Amino acid sequence: MSETKKILDNYLGKNTRIAEKDNGNGSKEVCDLDTGDCYTIRTKDGLIERVDNTINKNRKVQVETSTGIKQLLNG
């Protein structure tokens, strides 16, 4: 069992189902397999810090135009 999973299980008080990938720069991408949410995190001294992602791939944005609401895809 990974250290990240142990920390999350302890914090949330439940058995989490996660997938994690090392980004190679001291951070990891962790995805919750139950919700599909993914976050970039760093761990230090047993604490988890969520890293603000500056790259958003395939993010859908709705904008209001004079002809109605349109959905744009960023990525």
Ordered by start, the domain boundaries in the chain are: 3-74
pLDDT of residue 1: 65
Q: For residue 8, which phi and psi values (nearest 5 degrees)?
A: -65, -45
Report field, pTM of the whole predicted structure over 0.85: no
pLDDT tens digits, 5-28: 888 888 878 898 989 998 888 888
What does the pLDDT look like over 49-73, one tens digit per residue? 877 655 445 567 778 888 888 877 6
The pLDDT value given to residue 55: 46
**Tokens standing for residue 16:** 């989490």
75 has pLDDT over 50 = no
**Contact between residue 31 and residue 40 where contact means Cβ atoms under 8 Å apart:** no
